[in-house]
Structure 1
Amino acid sequence: MMPDLGKYATDVYAAYAISLLLLAGLIWRTIARARAVKKQLAAAEARLETRPNA
């Protein structure tokens, strides 16, 4: 059930496409950042485990 957009259909579809691309980019960036932070945390925890007791 799609409304008849008339002469604005191209603009509306383009706005939908741009919005979906931006959302996909934000999701990708969030996942990539989470992986990087998880890797940094694991490295920091490994350094703590190998540190001599003071």
Structure 2
Amino acid sequence: MSHAAYVIASYLVAALTVAGLVLWVVGDGRARRRELKALEAAGIRRRSAQTAGGDDK
């Protein structure tokens, strides 16, 4: 049991790191969705989106 504090601390640091990364990815995804929505509202479309006339280059 002499290493219990080290093991518990290691698991805690790992769990906090993973939780932080998950929160970061979720927050970044939401920010990108907001940016895409703003760009689409401004009339800017993706290059991969089909045109109205169907004339792909």
Q: Name the structure 1 match of 2:25.
A: 30
Q: Name the structure 2 match of 1:39.
A: 34
Aligned length: 44
Structure-1-length-normalised TM-score: 0.78
Q: Distance in 2 between matches of 1:38 and 1:24?
A: 21
Asked which structure has the greater RCO (Cα within 8 Å, sep 6+), the reply is 1
Q: What is the alpha-carbon root mean square deviation over aligned residues?
A: 1.1
Between the aligned residues of both structures, percent identity stands at 32
Q: Name the structure 2 match of 1:52.
A: none
Which 5+ residue runs of structure 1 have no aligned equivalent? 1-5, 50-54
**Residue type matched to 1:14 in 2?**
A
Structure with a larger share of its residues in helix = 1
Which 5+ residue runs of structure 2 have no aligned equivalent? 45-57
Give the alignment of 1:1-54 within 5 angstroms.
6-48=1-43
